[in-house]
Amino acid sequence: MKDDKEQDSCHLIAVDNKEEVIGTGRLHFNNEEEGQIRYMAVSESIQRKGLGSAIVSELELIAKKKGAREMVLNARKNAINFYLSLGYKEIKPI
């Protein structure tokens, strides 16, 4: 997806041994200290095997190295428990 933050974003793309995309996530900064994770997706066939957690962890590490002090994200209802399990807090349900 392209938006006004695309140019300054960091994308992670996971591929399997057939070079097929099985997971992805994007990091951009809302300001100097706030990173935001967007466009997270993992193929249904391999969900609950740690790939999503690994993508989030790597995006958090990159954000921290670039000066982020906090991370935010928007989650679909069916992904809220995943992010809660990684230590994120629900601030405001929509």
Give pLDDT tens digits along the chain (94 positions).
Answer: 566 666 678 999 999 999 999 999 999 999 999 999 999 999 999 999 999 999 999 999 999 999 999 999 999 999 999 999 999 999 976 6
pLDDT of residue 8: 77
Closest CA to 63 of 11, 87, 27: 27
Per-residue pLDDT tens digits for 68-90: 999 999 999 999 999 999 999 99
How many angstroms separate the Cα of 34 from the Cα of each of 59, 72, 87?
13, 7, 16
Q: Helices marked H in 24-50 — which ranges?
A: none
Burial zone of 35 (CB within 10 Å; 0-12 exposed, 13-18 middle, 19+ buried): buried
Return the domain boundaries, the chain. 6-85
pTM: 0.89
Q: Which CATH number fits domain 6-85: 3.40.50.970, 1.20.1050.10, 3.40.50.2300, 3.40.630.30?
A: 3.40.630.30
